[in-house]
Amino acid sequence: MSHTRHGRKPPRVGDHPLFRRSLIGIVLVLGALLILAPLIVIGVEAFRQGWQAYIATLAHPDTRHAIMMTVVTALIAVPVNTAFGIAAAWSITKFDFPGKRLLLVVIEIPFSVSPIVAGVAYLFVYGLQGLFGPWLDQHDIKILFALPGIVLASMFVTAPFVARELIPLMQAQGRDLEEAATSLGASGWRTFLAVTLPNIKWALLYGVVLCNARVMGEFGAVSIVSGNIRGQTNTLPLHIELLYHDYQAAGAFASASILAVIAVFTIIAKVALERRGAGRRKVLASPPASEGTRP
Amino acid sequence: MKIRLDNVIKTFDTFRAVHGVSLEIESGELVALLGPSGSGKTTILRMVAGLEYADGGHIHFGDQDATDIPVRNRGVGFVFQHYALFPHMTVAENIGFGMSVSKVKRSKAEIAARVRQLLALVRLDGLGDRFPGQISGGQRQRVALARALAVDPKVLLLDEPFGALDANVRHDLRRWLREIHQELGITTIFVTHDQEEALDLADRVVILKEGRIVQQGTPQEVCRDPRDPFVLKFLGDANRLTGEVRAGRAIAGGAEIAAPGVADGPAEIFARPRDLDWSESGPGVAATVTRVLDRPGERRVIALAGTGEPLEFDVEPERAIVAGEAGFVTLRRAKVFSLA
C-alpha cells in the first residue's frame, strides 16, 4: 500500500533525482576542470603565436633532439620491457617455483615507488660515488647523464606494464592450451608462436601501448639521471620543463602538444584494444558449462 | 597398444596423489578410471600421457618403457575436460594442428583431406570453418576428439570428457564414443567421477580411492560383487544397516537375509533402494516415512528407522504413501560385510 502512496514507484536505492543530478553534475564539472580544460589550454597556448611560431619551435634543433631522444628511448625500453613482461608472466603463470609470490610483488614495486626515488637509486648505483661508478669511469662507459641511464630509468618505471596485463589473462587461460599443443607434437617455440601468442596478443599490445605512453612521458626518474643537458640528454618532457623555465611558454606548450597528441592516440588505441578483448575483462573462450547431474 | 603401469608413484609437494599403482590395459580395450575427486585418477591419466612425470615406477607402451618419453613424442591423443580448443583457430585448423606441426611433412591438400575425413567421423561435416566459440559444448568436445585422433595416437586418453556438458548431451556422446571406439579399436582410457558413465561406456572399470586401486573388473563384476563398502556406496545409492550375522543369516532389527560365507559377529548390511520392501505390518525394521520424492519411474521414499538410521527405498508409482506413515522395511537383496 505504501508503495502507491505518492502515486509512483519508489526510486531504487540511491536513485533519488536530486542525488543523481548532483552526482553527475559534480563529476562533469570536475572532469571538465581537471582534465579537459588543461588539454584545451595546451592546444590554445601552443598556437597562440600562430602556426609559424609553432612550426619554428618544433623545428628548433634542441626540440628535434629531444624528440629524437624520446623516440630512441622508447625504441629500446619498450621492446626490452615487452620481452621482460612476457617472460615474467609466463614464468609466474605456467611454472611453480619458490619465490613466485615474491616475484609478483617485486614486479609491482615500480608502480608504488616514486620515479624520483628510482632516479636517485640509479645515481647511487652508477654515479661516480656509487657502486659501479669508479669501474665504469675507468673503462670509459657512460651510463649516467647519457642515453643508457635514461633508458635504464625509463625501463625501471615501466617494467610492470606488460607483465601486469598478461598475468591475469594467462592465469585465467591456464596451461591447457599449451599442454594440448605439446601433446599434439608441437615444440615449445612452436607452441608459443602458434598457440600462446595469438591468445594474448591484444592484452600484450595493450600493455605495450601503455608502456610506450609512460616511457615517452616519464619525467621524474629521467630528470635525475639525464643531467638535463640541453640538446644532448634532454627528452621531450625535460625539454618542456626547460622551455617553461626559460619563459618560452609558447615553445613549452608546442612541445607539450606533441605529448598530448601521443596521449590521445594512446587512449584511442587503448579503447580499440579493449574492444578486441584485451585488458583484464577477458574471460576464457569456453567457460565450463554446468557440471551436469550425478545420478 | 598394450599399456602397463608398474608400481607408479606421484607426489605433489607433500601430498602423495598416487600410491604405487599397477595396472594393465589390453590393446584395444576401453577402460574407465573411476573415483571421487582426489582419488588420483586424473594424475594417473596425465602420467600415462606424459603431461606429468612419475616419481617412481614405470609406464610401458607395448614393449617400450615410455616412463621418460616426453608427451610430445609419446604418441598419445589427449582430450581435456574443458576441450582446450585453440580459440583463434577454426575447427578445421584445430583438427589439422597436430598434422601441421608433425615431423612427418604432409601437404596442405593431404591435411585438408584428413581433416574432412575426421569431421565426417565425428559427424561435424560442414562446420570446419566455424570457430570454437561458435559451436556448442558437445560439438567442441567432438572437435577435441577429432583433433586428438588426427595424430594417429597409439593411445587415446580422455580426462572427464563429458564433465562439462549437460545431462542429455552427455548421454548421447557416451553412446557415440562407444561407437567410435568400436570403429577404430584404439586403446582408450578415460577418467570420470560418474559411475553411470563408467559402467555405460567401459569394458573394464578401475575404481580408485586415495591414490590406490580398490577394485577393477568388468561393469558386471564390480556391480555384482563389490569388494568393500566404499566400492558399493560409490557405485550407487545404498542403505546401510548395522546388524549381526548368525549361522549364515544377517539380522538387523526385524529384517533378516541370507549371508552365506560371512563370519558370525557384527556386520554391515547394504541394500540398494529398490531392494527394500515396505509393508504396513511386520516383521521388518520399523520406520517412519519422512518424505516422498516423485520420479518418472518410481517413488523414492525417505524414512527414518526406529534405530535412527536413515533409509531410502523405491516403491511403484501407483503406491499411495505419505509422510508420517509408519511401517516396516524388509530386505529382498543385500550385501553383507563383516565388521569383525
| Pairing mode, strands B239-246 and B212-217 | unpaired
Tell whether A92 and A25 lie within a shared domain.
no
What torsion, rounded to 10 degrees, do the Cα atoms B100, B104, B110, B116 define? -60
The reported pLDDT for the residue numbered A1 is 45
* B244, B203: one domain: no
A182 and A123 in a common domain:
yes
What single letter denotes the amino acid at residue A88?
Answer: A
- State which of B208, B232, B256 marks the end of a domain: B232
User: By three-state DSSP, how is residue B328 classified?
Assistant: strand
Contact flag B84-A177 (C-beta cutoff 8 Å)? yes
Residues B276, B307 share a domain = yes
Mean per-residue pLDDT over chain A, rounded: 84
Residue B228 and residue B260 share a domain: no
A181 domain residue, yes or no: yes
Q: Would you say B169 and B197 are in contact if contact means Cβ atoms under 8 Å apart?
A: no
Q: At residue B290, does pLDDT exceed 90?
A: yes
Say if residues A169 and A277 touch (Cβ distance below 8 Å): no
Q: Is residue B263 domain-shared with residue B170, that is, in the same domain?
A: no
Residues A267 and A134 reside in one and the same domain: yes
- The enclosing domain of B151 has a CATH number of 3.40.50.300
Same-domain check for residues A184 and A218: yes
Is pLDDT at A280 greater than 90 in this prediction? no
Q: What predicted TM-score, i.e. pTM, was given to this entire model?
A: 0.80
**Residue B20 corresponds to which cell in the numbers above?**
604405487
Domain presence at residue A1: no
Do residue A153 and residue A237 come from a single domain? yes
User: What is the DSSP code (8-state) at residue B46?
Assistant: H
Indicate if ipTM > 0.90.
Answer: no
C-alpha dihedral (A36, A238, A47, A56), degrees to nearest 10: -160
Residues A93, A166, single domain; the answer is yes
Q: Is a pLDDT exceeding 70 seen at residue B254?
A: yes
Band of pLDDT at residue A293, cut at 50, 70 and 90: very low
Interface test with B, best of A184, A196, A199, A286 (most B CBs within 10 A): A184
Same structural domain, B169 and B267: no
pLDDT bracket for residue A284 (50, 70, 90): very low
Confidence of residue A8 (pLDDT cuts 50, 70, 90): low
**Predicted confidence (pLDDT) at residue B262 exceeds the cutoff of 60:** yes
pLDDT for the residue B116 = 95
Q: How many domains are contained in chain B?
A: 2
Q: Are residues A127 and A267 in the same domain?
A: yes
* All cell numbers assigned to A267: 587512449
Question: A121 CA to chain B: closest CA distance, Å?
Answer: 39
Cα distances (angstroms) measured from residue A37 to each of A29, A55, B14, B137, B318: 10, 24, 61, 52, 80
B200 and B257: one domain? no
Q: Which residue has the cell 509393508?
A: B279
The stretch B182-202 carries a mean pLDDT of: 93
The verdict on A24 and A82 lying in the same domain is: no
Rounded to an integer, what distance in angstroms lies between the CA atom of residue A170 and that of residue A202? 12
A179 neighbourhood in chain B, CB within 8 Å: 51, 71, 78, 80, 84
- Contacts of residues A242-251 at CB distance under 8 Å and 24 or more positions apart, as own/partner, are A248/A57, A249/A45, A249/A48, A250/A45, A250/A46, A250/A48, A250/A49, A250/A53, A250/A54, A250/A57, A251/A57, A251/A60, A251/A63
With bands split at pLDDT 50, 70 and 90, how would you rate the model's confidence at B169?
confident
Interval B167-189 mean pLDDT = 90
Residue A232 CA, chain-centre distance (Å), reads 25
Same domain, yes or no: A175 and A86: yes
Partner residue opposite A291 with nearest CB, options B132, B147, B163: B163
Closest Cβ–Cβ partner in B76, B167, B170 for A183: B76
Quick one: closest CA in B to A295, which residue? Answer: B196
How does pLDDT run across B57-99, given as a tens digit for each residue? 999 999 999 998 999 999 999 999 999 999 999 999 999 999 9
Locus of grid cell 570446419: B128
Domain that residue B278 falls in: 237-338
Residue A38 lies in a domain: yes
Please give the backbone phi and psi of residue B72, each rounded to the nearest 5 degrees, phi first.
Answer: -60, -35
CB pairs under 8 A between A and B: 98
Q: Residue B335: name the closest of B209, B199, B224, B196 by CA.
A: B224
B82: nearest CA in chain A?
Answer: A288
Q: Are residue B269 and residue B226 in the same domain, yes or no?
A: no
Q: Which of A51, A52, A48, A45 is nearest to A256 (CA)?
A: A45
* Domain of A266, in residue numbers: 50-275
Cell of A193: 608462436
Q: How far apart are CA A230 and CA A183, in angstroms?
A: 58
| Mean pLDDT value of segment B311-329 | 92
Tell me the pLDDT tens digit for each residue of A16-64: 888 889 999 999 999 999 989 988 988 888 888 888 888 888 888 988 9
Distances (CA, A) of B174 to A104, A118, B146, B203: 43, 61, 15, 13
Lowest-confidence pick of A225-229, B89-93, B151-155: A225-229
d(CA B281, CA B309): 19
B183 and B218, same domain (yes or no): yes
Give the end of a domain, one of B232, B256, B276: B232
Per the domain annotation, does A141 fall within a domain?
yes
Shared domain check, B63 and B122: yes
What CATH number does residue B276 fall under? 2.40.50.140
Q: What mean pLDDT is predicted for residues A198-221?
A: 91
Residue A285 has pLDDT above 60, yes or no: no
Residue B196 and residue B246 share a domain: no
- Whether the CB of A146 is below 8 Å from some CB of chain B: the reply is no
| CA-closest candidate to residue B311, choices B287, B292, B331 | B287
Query: Are B150 and B294 within one domain?
Result: no
Residue A3 pLDDT exceeds 70: no
Q: Report whether pLDDT(A283) > 50.
A: no
Select from B185, B209, B232 the last residue of a domain: B232
CATH of residue A199's domain is 1.10.3720.10
Q: Are A26 and A125 found together in one domain? A: no
Q: What pLDDT, in 10s, does the model give residues A59-85?
A: 889 889 999 999 999 999 999 999 999
The x, y and z cell numbers of residue A255, run together, are 612541445
For B82, which of A176, A194, A295 is closest by C-beta distance?
A176
Chain A residues with beta carbon closer than 8 angstroms to that of B86: 177, 180-181, 194-195, 198-199
A205 and A71 housed in the same domain? yes
Give yes or no for residue B280 having a pLDDT over 70. Answer: yes
The domain tally of chain A equals 2
The SS3 call for residue B70 is: coil
If asked whether residues B269 and B334 sit together in one domain, one would say yes
